[in-house]
Amino acid sequence: MTTSRTPSSVDPTAFRFDCGAVWLNLLATRGRTFSAKPVERIATPERLMEWLTRVELAPARTATDDDLTRAHELRESLRALALASVDEEPPPAGAAADLTAFLSEHDAPARLSVDTRLHRESPVTATEALARIARQAVEQLTTADRLALKVCPEDDCRGVFVDPVGRRRWCPSPACASRGRVRALRARRAETG
C-alpha cells in the first residue's frame, strides 16, 4: 500500500519512526498500549532484528528469545519512567534500580570511526543495542531534554513523543489525531445543540 498516506492505519503492526528519538520509537513498537488489545510490533526475535536494523543498531549476532524478552521488559520500564517524567510523578519503585543494574552490565565503550559520516562500532548482541537505547532514554529523561517530551492524550495510546516547540497535541499517529478531532467536534456540536 505505497499509495496510502497512513500506512500504519493499514497495517497496525507496521513500525513507527516518528516519535522523535530511537528510544521513543522503541516505546512505539507497542501500539494502543493502554487498550484492551495492544498491538505488538516486535513479536519475534526476527522482528526485533528488523527493527534494530531500521534504527541503525543491527547487532553482529542474531537476536534470541532472551533478547526479545529483554526488549519488551526494557520498553515497558522506559515507558513507565517516561510517563512519570511527563506527568511529574515519582517513577515506579525499582525502575531506576533495574535500569542502573542493566546499564552497568552493558557498559561498552563507544568506538567511533569515520567514512562519509560518523559511525559507532555495531553492538555485538541485541541486548547491547538495547543498552545503547536505554542510555539515550536516560540522557533525555535526566537533562533539560525531558522538557520537550509530551504524552498523547488518547487514553488507550499515551504515546510519548518529542514536541520541542510545544505545538503538537496528539502523538504522530494519524489515528489519534483524527479520533481526538472527531470527539472534539462532537462535543462542540453537542454544546451548540
Neighbouring-strand partners of residue 160: 151
Nearest alpha-carbon partner for 58 in 68, 48, 67: 48
Is there binding between residue 83 and Zn ion (CB under 5 A)? no
Nearest alpha-carbon partner for 98 in 131, 66, 128: 131
Contact range with Zn ion by CB under 5 A, out of 64-72, 119-127, 131-139, 163-171:
163-171
Taking residues 132 to 161 in sequence order and writing x for each that binds Zn ion by CB under 5 A, - otherwise, the string is --------------------x-x--x-x--
**CB-nearer residue toward Zn ion: 45 or 172:** 172
**CB-nearer residue toward Zn ion: 28 or 130:** 28
Neighbours of 187 (CB within 10 A): 10
**CB-nearer residue toward Zn ion: 100 or 178:** 178
> Cβ distance 59 to 122 under 8 Å?
yes
**CB-nearer residue toward Zn ion: 57 or 152:** 152
At 127, give phi and psi (nearest 5°): -65, -35
CB of residue 148 to Zn ion, shortest distance in Å: 17
Nearest alpha-carbon partner for 81 in 70, 94, 69, 92: 92
Q: Rounded CA gap, 64 and 62, in Å? A: 6
CB of residue 154 to Zn ion, shortest distance in Å: 5
CB of residue 144 to Zn ion, shortest distance in Å: 24
The residue from 176, 178, 190, 193 that contacts Zn ion (CB under 5 A) is: 176
Q: Tell me how many residues contact Zn ion (CB under 5 A).
A: 7
**CB-nearer residue toward Zn ion: 106 or 158:** 158
Neighbours of 148 (CB within 10 A): 15
Q: Is the dihedral of CA 17, 19, 23, 26 positive or negative?
A: negative
Give me the residues that bind Zn ion (CB under 5 A), please.
152, 154, 157, 159, 171, 173, 176
